[in-house]
Structure 1
Amino acid sequence: MNIESIALIDAPRLSSPWNNGPIATTQDFGGLLMRGVEGVDHAVQASEAAVTGFAIGDDMPPHQVMLALEDARLQLQFALQVRAKIVEGYQELMRMQI
């Protein structure tokens, strides 16, 4: 068995739910969270633009407005659930005795 050949394999690539591309496994956690927050903010801004465009009479179909609103709502709910799990994990770590 040749152990050295295993070292030549590239690191696995993970897919992020907030970004449609692969992310490196060496990326820091804070950067990943920041990109997620920026993605949620972009979705909220896009939904606001769709609602504004529909309200002022632009050529915006109602179903596109509803899709943009639902996308922003789902992304925000997901971000809130991730935040809750992070806070829960932090509180669990603080309760541990050394």
Structure 2
Amino acid sequence: MAINSVSFMAPTQIVNETNKVHTSVTSAEAQQTFANTLKDAIAGVNSQQIQSDTMTEKLINGGDVDLHEVMIASQKASITLNATMEVRNKAVEAYQEIMRMSV
């Protein structure tokens, strides 16, 4: 398992890169982009869960898989699911807060 190095960008680089792209996006395009991003994120979480389940089944059935690999896959799946649940909770809280606002 390879470990990739983490590189940090200076804050000015991030600001300059975001200022370069100024295109007008319609509401429908923004909704579609958000929907696709959300669908991809959920598919990624599902993929992690399936991989964890597959590795667990291989371990139980005596397949050629190491225990530490199964545990790592399980923890990755757990962390991605917990992060997704927290994002969902924050989105629901934000929606409820908006609904409580008086017009």
TM-score (norm 1): 0.72
Give, in whole Å, the separation in 2 of the partners of 1:37 and 1:60. Answer: 26
Residue ranges of structure 1 left out of the alignment (5+ in a row): 1-8, 13-25
Residue ranges of structure 2 left out of the alignment (5+ in a row): 1-18, 23-29
Amino acid at match of 2:60: A
CA RMSD of aligned residues (A): 2.1
More strand by share: 1
Aligned length, in residue pairs: 78
Q: Secondary structure at the match of 1:60?
A: coil
What corresponds to 1:16 in structure 2?
A: none
TM-score (norm 2): 0.69
What corresponds to 2:40 in structure 1?
A: 35
More helix by share: 2
What corresponds to 1:11 in structure 2?
A: 21
The runs of 4+ residues in structure 1 deviating greater than 2 Å are 9-12
1:57 and 2:62 equivalent?
yes
* Structure possessing the higher relative contact order (Cα contacts under 8 Å, 6 or more residues apart): 2
State, as a whole percentage, how many aligned pairs show the same letter: 32
Residue 10 of structure 1: CA displacement? Answer: 4.0
